[in-house]
């Protein structure tokens, strides 16, 4: 399976779920991309703000690519979403994007990007 295929599968899953997808849901759908992995996904430019661990480099790349290509949006979420999904990351919560001295967790969810419905020249 190529990374592009993984990206397509992830975007399809997020779209079919209607958005608000947590890393826990992604783990359940794509267990091979999480189990036994040693990598972490962190917030770009903030190495001590962790999004999730463990995650494969392929999954992190697929999520980043889908976000960068405007296919999905990554939104901060309440840790309660993860509590309800049955799994939380055991770190203090990052309340805002800043450089922390020690690792923090930023809970996020993934949703399909909404197409731009504004028409040029119409206010």
pLDDT digits (tens, 9 = 90+) for 42-99: 998 999 999 999 999 999 999 999 999 999 999 999 999 999 999 998 899 999 889 9
pLDDT digits (tens, 9 = 90+) for 6-27: 999 999 999 999 999 999 999 9
Per-residue CA distances from 94 to 47, 81, 105 (Å) = 12, 15, 5
Q: What is the mean pLDDT of residues 101-108?
A: 97
Cα 99–chain centre separation: 20
Is the pLDDT at 117 greater than 90? The verdict is: no
pTM of structure:
0.87
Residue 105 banded pLDDT, cuts 50, 70, 90: very high
């Amino acid at each position: 399976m190529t990374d592009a295929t993984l990206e397509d599968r992830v975007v399809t899953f997020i779209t079919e779920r209607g958005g608000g997808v947590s890393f826990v849901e992604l783990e359940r759908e794509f267990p091979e991309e999480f189990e036994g992995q040693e990598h972490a996904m962190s917030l770009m430019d903030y190495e001590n703000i962790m999004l999730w661990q463990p995650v494969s480099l392929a999954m992190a790349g697929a999520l980043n690519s889908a976000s960068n290509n405007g296919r999905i949006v990554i939104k901060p979420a309440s840790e309660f979403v993860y509590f309800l999904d049955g799994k939380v990351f055991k770190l203090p919560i990052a309340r805002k994007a800043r450089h922390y001295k020690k690792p923090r967790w930023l809970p996020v969810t993934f949703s399909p990007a909404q197409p731009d419905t504004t028409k040029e020249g119409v206010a």
